[in-house]
Chain A
Amino acid sequence: MARYIPPVQSKLGQIIDVIVLVVLSVGALFVPLWLGLAGSAKLPVPVENPTWESLGQNPVMVQQWNKLGFPDAASAHDMITARYDYSFSWMALAVMVIVIVGYFVMMIRLSDKEYREVIAEKFGEK
C-alpha cells in the first residue's frame, strides 16, 4: 500500500481546530445550563406549617438536625422534602438507547475503516 503523506496544516488552521474543540466542549456543558434544561427535577414538596413529625423525623433525626444548625422543622423543610422526579417516558428511554448504541456502532465502524488503513500500511497488504 502506498504510504499516505498527510498535508501540512497551517498555524491558523491548527488554532481554529483547537478553538472548535474548546467551543464544542464548553457548549456541551453550558448550553443545557443556559437553557435551563440541566439538572434534575429535585424540588421541595411544600408541607403547610411543618413540624418534625409531619416531616417524618424521629427524635434521633431531630437531634442530628439540631446539631447541624437547623433549630426547627421550618429551617430544614426544603432539604427534607426535596425529591427527584423519576417519572420518564418510554419514548425518551428508547431515544437514549438508540443514541448511545448508535454512537458506539458508528464509532466502531468508522474506526475499523481507519484501522484497516493503518494495518495495511504498517504490515503491508495481505
Chain B
Amino acid sequence: MAHSEDVDHTAHGQSMGLLRVLGPAHVWALGVGIVLVGEYMGWNFAVGKGGAYAALIACWFAGILYSCVAMIDSEVTSTVAAAGGQYTQAKHIIGPLMAFNVGLYLVFAYTMLEAGNAITLGFLVDTVAAMTGHEGGLDQRPFIVLAIMFLAWLNYRGVLATLTFNLVITAFAFTAIIVMFLATSPLLGAGEMLHKDLMSGQASLPYGWLGILAAMHFGLWYYLGIEGTTQAAEEVRSPARSLPFGTLAGIMTLLIAATLTWYVCSGLLPWEYLGDGVNGAVAPLFSAAQISGSNALVWLLGIGTLFATLASANGCINDASRAWFSMGRDHYLPAWFGAVHPVYRTPYRAIIFLVPIALIFALGAPLDQVITFSILSGLLGYTFMPINMIMFRKKWPLDTIKRGYEHPLHPLPAISLMALCAVTYFAVFLGYGTQLIAMIGFYIVVSLWFHFWRYRFVKRADQFTMPWPRPRGY
C-alpha cells in the first residue's frame, strides 16, 4: 500500500493502509452521488443571477469546464493511485505548498457542500411536515445534526458499505429526474411545459448578456464535486481502469441530469421564484413536482431530494476526510489525523474531526453563502488543474510514465479550463466579490503560515511516493 512505510508507527492505527474493495460502479456512485444534489438544489441560484436562458447557457459552459476537469483528472489520477486525489497530484507535480492549498480546497469544498446538503434536508423535512398538517414550522436543527452524525458514523464503519449505500440512493435520485422529465414533458406526459410563456418578455434575459456571465457562478453547482472520484484512488481495486471509467461515465450522467432538470424546472416555475433559492425554490425539482399537481411526483421527487442530499453529504464526508487524512499522514497537519482504524480501515479521526466543522456551517450560515464558499474552493481547485496538467506533461512526457488514460487534444482542454475559470471568477465577482476576496485572503494567510511555520515538520523526500523517474528540468 502506498505510503505505508511513511507513517508514524508509534501512533494507534497509523501503520495500516486503507482497504482496496471498490469497483468502477462505486467510483461512479461517489462522483455522481456527491454532485447529483446540485440538480436538486443550488443550481437555480444561476437563474436568479441571469434568468432561465442564462442558466441553460451556464449549464452547458460549466459542462464543458467539467468535461475538461474530468479528462485532465482522469489522466493524472490514472497514474497517482493514492488517497488525497488532487492533493497528492499537486504534491508530486507542483510542490508542497500547492498541495497544502489544494488539500484545503478539497476539504472546504466538500465540507461546505455537506453543510449545504444538511440545510436542504432540514428544509425538506420542514416542508413535508407542513404538507402533512403540522403547523408553526419545525425546528430543523435536530434533523441537520442527526443527518450529519449518521453519515459520519456510516463512513466511520467502512468505505464499501458507505459507497454501496451511495450507489443505491444515487441511482434512485437519478431515476427520479428521468421519471419527472418523462411525466411532465410532451414525450409521454401531459405536455404541460410552459417555457414559451414563462420565458417571454422581461423574463428572457432580465440582466442582458451580463447576466449570462454572472450565471456561470452557480452554473458550476450543476457538476461541482465530480472530481471527488479521485479520492477513492487508494481504495479502488484497479485504479488505472476504474477511475477514468467511473469519472467519465459520471460526467456524462450529470450532463444529462443537468439539462433535464433545467428543462423541467424552467418549464414550470416563474424565473423569479426558481431563482430565489432561499425564499422561493429551495429544492426546485421538488417545487416543480408540487406545481405539477401529481402526488406521486411530489413523493417521488421528495424522496429523490432526500436521497440526493444524503448521497452527496455521504460522499462529501468520504472525500473531505480522505484529503484531511492524507495531509495528516504527510505531516502537513498534525500526524494524529493520519491514522487508519484498526478494524474498519477508515480514516476515522479525520472523519470525526470534520463533523463539528460541517455543523458550524450548516447551523450558522445561509445556504447561498455556504454554496458560494464551496464553489470558490472548487474554483480555486479547477484553476490549479490546468497548471498541474501542463507541468505534468512537461516534467513527465508521455514516453516517461505509462498512463491508464491519455486525454486527447492537449493542451486545448487545459487552456479551455483556464479560460472558463477566469470567466467564473468574474461571475462570482458580480454580486459576491466580498466573499471572493475574503476567501483568497484566507488562502494567502494559511499559505504563509504553512511555508514559514508548518512545513518545518514535514520530511522532504518522503513526500514523493510515486515510482516515477526524476522530473525533467529538476
Q: Give chain A's interface residues, CB within 8 Å of chain B.
A: 3-4, 6-7, 9, 14-15, 17-18, 20-22, 24-33, 37-42, 56-61, 64-65, 67-68, 76, 79-80, 82-86, 88, 92-93, 95-96, 99-100, 103-104, 106-108, 110-119, 121-123, 126
Contacts and interface: CB of A to CB of B under 8 A. Distances in A.
Nearest to A31: B438
B296 interface: no
A51 B20 CA distance: 63
A26 B442 contact: no
A111 B95 contact: yes
B214 A28 contact: no
Given A64-B270, A79-B276, A40 B431 contact: yes
B368 interface: yes
B5 to A, nearest CB: 14
B447 interface: yes
B454 interface: yes
Contacts of A15: 334
7 contacts: A22-B357, A64-B273, A82-B272, A84-B207, A108-B94, A114-B455, A122-B464
B438 A114 contact: no
B214 A86 contact: yes
The 10 closest A-B pairs by CB, nearest first: A111-B95, A115-B95, A40-B431, A60-B197, A28-B442, A14-B334, A121-B461, A122-B461, A111-B98, A111-B97
Contact of B434 (A32, A79, A83): A32
B48 A42 contact: yes
Given A111-B97, A122-B460, 13 more contacts: A3-B460, A29-B438, A32-B435, A33-B369, A42-B431, A64-B194, A80-B272, A82-B272, A84-B214, A103-B440, A108-B98, A111-B98, A118-B96
Nearest to A41: B431
B132 interface: no
B459 interface: yes
A15 B353 CA distance: 12
The bracket for how many chain B residues form the interface is: 35 or more
Interface in B73-105: 94-99, 101, 104
Given A26-B360, A104-B383, A6 B434 contact: no
B434 A28 contact: no
Q: By CB atoms of chain B within 10 A, which of A7, A37, A39, A76 has the most?
A: A39
A86 B217 CA distance: 13
Contacts of A38: 369, 432, 434-435, 438
Contact of B198 (A60, A92, A118): A60
A74 to B, nearest CB: 15
A15 B130 CA distance: 45
A120 B360 CA distance: 42
Q: By CB atoms of chain B within 10 A, which of A30, A68, A115 has the most?
A: A115
B456 A7 contact: yes
B444 interface: yes
A20 B94 contact: no
Nearest to A36: B434
Contact of A6 (B203, B211, B435, B458): B458
B210 interface: yes
Given A4-B460, A65-B273, A106 B440 contact: no
Contacts of B383: 104
Contacts of A7: 456-457
Contacts of B470: 119, 123
Nearest to A21: B446
A100 to B, nearest CB: 6
B343 interface: no
A18 B333 contact: yes
Nearest to B200: A58
Nearest to B292: A67
A68 B431 CA distance: 27
A112 B201 CA distance: 54
B360 to A, nearest CB: 6
B269 A64 contact: yes
Contacts of A80: 270, 272
Interface string B423-456: 0011001111111111111111111010100111
A111 B369 contact: no
A17 B454 contact: yes
B283 to A, nearest CB: 13
Contact of B459 (A6, A28, A58, A88): A6
B438 A28 contact: yes
A100 B438 CA distance: 11
A67 B291 contact: yes
A106 B442 contact: no
B194 A30 contact: no
